[in-house]
Amino acid sequence: MVSKAEFDNIWKKPVIKIGVVTVLIPTFMCFLPNLFLYIKFGVFPPVSVALKAWGMIAAIFGAFYIVEPISYYPVLGLTGTYISFLSGNIGNLRLPCSAVAQEVVGVEAGSSEAEIVSTLGVAGSVITNLFFTTLAAVAGAALLAIFPEPIAIAFKQYTVAAIFGAVFGQFTLKFPKLAFVGIAIPMLLRIVGPAIGMPFLTQTWVVIVASVFGTILVGRILYKKGLLH
């Protein structure tokens, strides 16, 4: 059994070095089409237009810049976080795979063992995802056309919700007190917001931020009081 310091030196330091590089390189590559258009054709949007476009996106998804890394990290771990934010499909694929892998092996959440198991689960999901995404791209539309219309509609509309529900149910069994808080906060905002003349409280980003950080805060309080283990 290695100590935390040894684990950080053996595992986390190399992970950070590799993770930073593998995240920054694709980030730079995202701008290559823009650079090509500028170098080849001299086409480039004015800075004001680019900032306005970014501002519109940030207004919609800006909260996720903070919420997702914080809320996903306890399950994904360091390596899983780097891999997940590089490959995408975090909430509906990487997170469930990481959680299930840890559940099957029976490791303690947040431990060094959980970090390694999470990495294996996320890495396995990436490989599997590549295979089945390719398969779905080739045969998915044809399969959906064969299914009866109600089944096809259910696949399109409820798959993500079903995955999130399953993950929530899995963690409810472990932390029923926090599960109650996690579901109560968004329900309360949805009901109370319009009733008190503050409909902005029902906006998605507000609900997500309040639910995530509210649950963390309550969990911390319960832990200090010895009511959560």
Read off the pLDDT of residues 45-79 as tens digits, 9 standing for 90 and up: 888 888 888 887 877 777 778 888 888 888 899 99
Torsional class of 196: left (φ above 0), alpha (ψ -120 to 50), beta (otherwise):
alpha
% the chain with pLDDT above 90: 17
The listed range with the strongest mean pLDDT (19-33, 122-136, 205-219) is 19-33
pLDDT at 83: 93
Give the 3-state secondary structure of residue 106. Answer: coil
Q: Would the pLDDT of 120 be above 90?
A: yes
Model confidence pLDDT, tens digit, residues 93-116: 898 889 889 988 888 877 889 999
Give residue 143's pLDDT band: very low, low, confident or very high (50, 70, 90): confident
Tell me how crowded residue 53 is: count the other CB atoms within 10 A of its CB. Answer: 11
- Higher local confidence (pLDDT), 218 or 152: 218
Q: Which amino acid is at 55?
A: G
Average pLDDT over residues 141-157: 77
Half-sphere exposure of 21 (CA within 13 A, CB side): 5
Model confidence pLDDT, tens digit, residues 4-61: 888 888 888 999 999 999 999 998 998 898 889 889 888 888 888 888 888 878 777 7
Domain locations in the chain as residue ranges: 45-174, 175-229
State the pTM of this model.
0.70
Q: Kindly provide the b/e burial profile for residues 115-154, where b requires at least 16 CB atoms within 10 angstroms of the residue's own CB.
A: bbbbbbbbbebbeebeeeeeeeeeeeeeeeeeeeeeeeee
